Structure 1
Amino acid sequence: MEPSRATTRRHLSTSPFKPRVPEPVKTFEEGDRVSHDKEGLGRITAVEGTHAVVVDLGGGRLLRVVSPFDKLHLL
């Protein structure tokens, strides 16, 4: 059995269903206060384009979070 491919289907104009709307991309800036689902509260110390951010969690702990930022929420 072959694994299924992750493809997106195009929306037909005659379909009675609404087209799927993509989620907006989360953006962060240095100094933003954030909450991580597992690690807790922190502050953004570095932004690496739209691909990753570095979060200072306090006590010398740094966490690099890569896109998509599902577990990272802006406060």
Structure 2
Amino acid sequence: MTRPAAPKRRSPTSAFKAPVASTLEPFAMGDRITHDVYGPGRVIGIEDDIAVFVDFGSAQMRILSPYAKMTKR
């Protein structure tokens, strides 16, 4: 039986470590959005930089930050 390979550890000072840019897109009340899983919706509430509440028609969801799967339409 073989074990899966462990992920490689990178040094924090490595020259190969790519900088991570913050891609938090600001959302406002009433913004029309598209979510990769839930589809089109409208922002109905904002919880600081923690989450947004979105009405997708058939359901209302609380989407947590970072909003990787959600974009403005």
TM-score range, shorter chain: 0.7 to 0.9
Aligned match for 1:9, one of 12, 31, 39: 12
The Cα of 1:27 is off from its aligned counterpart by 1.2
Give distance in 1, aligned partners of 2:21 and 2:68: 14
Q: Which amino acid aligns with 1:73?
A: T
Give distance in 2, aligned partners of 1:53 and 1:8: 35
The Cα of 1:24 is off from its aligned counterpart by 3.1
Structure 2 unaligned blocks of 5 or more? 1-5
- Give the TM-score taking structure 1 as reference length: 0.70
Give distance in 1, aligned partners of 2:27 and 2:43: 8
The Cα of 1:36 is off from its aligned counterpart by 0.6
- Give the TM-score taking structure 2 as reference length: 0.72
* C-alpha RMSD over aligned residues: 2.8
Give distance in 1, aligned partners of 2:39 and 2:22: 24
The Cα of 1:21 is off from its aligned counterpart by 4.8
**Structure 1 residues 7 and 54, CA, compared in 2 at 3 Å: closer, same or farther?**
farther
1:66 is aligned to 2:64: yes
Identity of aligned residues (%): 32
> What residue in structure 1 maps to residue 55 of structure 2?
56
> What residue in structure 2 maps to residue 36 of structure 1?
35
